[in-house]
Amino acid sequence: MSDFQLHTPETQAGLRRPFVAVAVVMRRERIDNRWQPWRWSLSEIIPHENDFGHAPRQLLSDNQEERWLYPGFKVELFSDDAEGYELNLSTQQPCFWVVWRMEEEPAITSECIAVPQTVTLSYHDAGRWLDAQESVEQVPAPLEVLLWMQAFVDQHYVLDVKRRKRPESFKSLQDRFGNPARVSTVKSGGPHHG
């Protein structure tokens, strides 16, 4: 296998955003469970090669496991998500995240299999998918991808210094028409006791 081909606008005229082309390898393994004899999981992310084509294909099949190759994923870096890449880089194990789903009807083979939907390096994207109850798994990203991503973060990430929000109790009161409201502790109307 070759190294990851890292594409950047600086090295390729007309390119809108940096990307790396990858292929996803999914694994189906036999487990000791009478209700569910197989379990799907993400096996690895490898550099995409043109020889892979664009269709999924089975790499291995025996009584204990299957491996499927899904080529042609483009992992792009977006400048407005530089914080998501920075958060990924700041973890103990920076990684690729893959969202995958089981087919509802068999389309690739005679049985329903796991199909990757998207691949990202963004911590934010992964968090949103997890919040949406998607199947999200991760594999470590290689050093060459991390260095490429770090260069992008260095160029695009700006630390957002949060302004301290003024407590609501310090804001001036307004009536329903937007005019300053007056507050008084003196009772108005009614009998006064003195």
Write the pLDDT tens digit of every residue in 83-123.
999 999 999 999 999 999 999 999 999 889 999 999 999 99
How far apart CA 124 and CA 161 sit, in angstroms, is: 18
In a domain, 10, yes or no: yes
Tell me the pLDDT of the chain averaged across its residues: 87
For residue 116, being part of any structural domain is answered with: yes
Among 150, 137, 153, which Cα is nearest to 45's?
137
Domain membership flag for residue 183: no
Inside any domain, residue 186: no
How confident is the model over 10-65, as pLDDT tens digits? 888 888 899 999 999 999 998 888 888 889 999 999 999 999 999 999 999 998 99
Domain span at residue 89?
A: 6-156
Burial, 141: exposed, middle or buried (Cβ in 10 Å; 0-12, 13-18, 19+)? Answer: buried
| Domain assignment of residue 15, yes or no | yes
Residue 186: the pLDDT is: 60
Q: Distance of CA 34 to CAs 30, 39, 64, 67, 133, Å?
A: 11, 12, 15, 22, 25
How large a percentage of the chain has pLDDT more than 70?
A: 81
Does residue 168 sit within a domain? no
Q: In the predicted model, what is the mean pLDDT of residues 165-183?
A: 61
The residue whose two tokens read 């269709």 is 55
Lowest mean pLDDT among 85-99, 123-137, 164-178: 164-178
Tally of domains within the chain: 1
Identify whether 165 is part of a domain: no
DSSP result, 25-93: EEEEEE-S-SS--EEEEEEEEEE--GGG-SS-EEEEE-SSEEEEEEEEEEEE--GGGHHHHHHHHTSSS
Residue 191 in any domain: the answer is no
